[in-house]
Amino acid sequence: MLKRAIIVLAAVVCTTTGGVAEEARVAFPESYATTFENYLSLDRTQDPDQIIRLFANGVALEAGAAGKELPDGSVVVGEVYSARKDSDGKVITSSLGRRIRDKMLAIAVMEKRKGWGDAYPEDLRNGDWDFAIFSPDGKRLEKKDLNTCRACHAPLKTTQHLYSLQHITK
Ligand code: HEC
């Protein structure tokens, strides 16, 4: 009994000191598929065989349309898909020259809340945005190093750390 209590305690200590608790603050946006707008879908510029479908919530879209800074509570979602391939493993393109969606691989999320950026050094700071990534069924992918997300988006200071800011509009 005592042994079990010690194991449980050790597990709690590990999760609170390992940085996971801090990173878990961006929750999975449960109803994004029905309540957010799919404002853009792209063949991924950074990846030769993926597709991304981008969604934003109402407050983000409204501010974007008005040319204003996106407010606290803004959430942007990227559904990442593999692109369909032929039997030789080559990515197929449609008659429009675009990749075709195959399986959903992950759901990437950015959310903005007051003070969320405070703890980060300059090269990882994205204003008050923070990042999370989930499996297609909404489970947090704990092993992903979110500092890679932060480092790639951080330099985008003139577009609020978003690649697709100009498309976030109504
Ligand atoms: C190497 C650079 C790079 C890394 C690393 C990266 N992103 Fe991005 N991200 C992009 C680019 C480029 C786009 C524009 C869409 C595209 O081409 O995929 C984007 C778009 C997004 C968007 C849509 C909003 C926007 O900025 O347009 C979200 C949400 C997002 N990324 C989340 C994440 C998360 C979460 C991670 C880490 C798990 C991550 N990104 C890691 C480059 C990166």
**Distances 161 to 44, 85, 134 between C-alpha atoms, Å:** 17, 32, 20
Residue 24 pLDDT: 85
CB 149 within 8 A of CB 108: yes
Q: How far is the CA of 81 from the centre of ligand 1 (A)?
A: 13
106 has pLDDT over 80: yes
Lowest mean pLDDT among 13-17, 140-144, 164-168: 13-17
139 has pLDDT over 70: yes
> For ligand 1, what atom is nearest to the CA of residue 44?
17
Average pLDDT score over residue span 10-18: 40
> For ligand 1, what atom is nearest to the CA of residue 151?
5
Q: Rounded to an integer, what distance in angstroms lies between the CA atom of residue 13 and that of residue 163?
A: 37
Residue 9 pLDDT: 43
Of 33, 118, 111, 126, the C-alpha closest to 79 is: 33
Q: How far is the CA of 39 from the centre of ligand 1 (A)?
A: 15
Alpha carbon nearest to ligand 1 atom 43, residue: 152
Average pLDDT score over residue span 80-108: 97
Q: Rounded to an integer, what distance in angstroms lies between the CA atom of residue 166 and that of residue 170?
A: 11
Q: Which pLDDT tens digit goes with each residue over 44-69?
A: 988 889 999 999 999 999 999 999 99
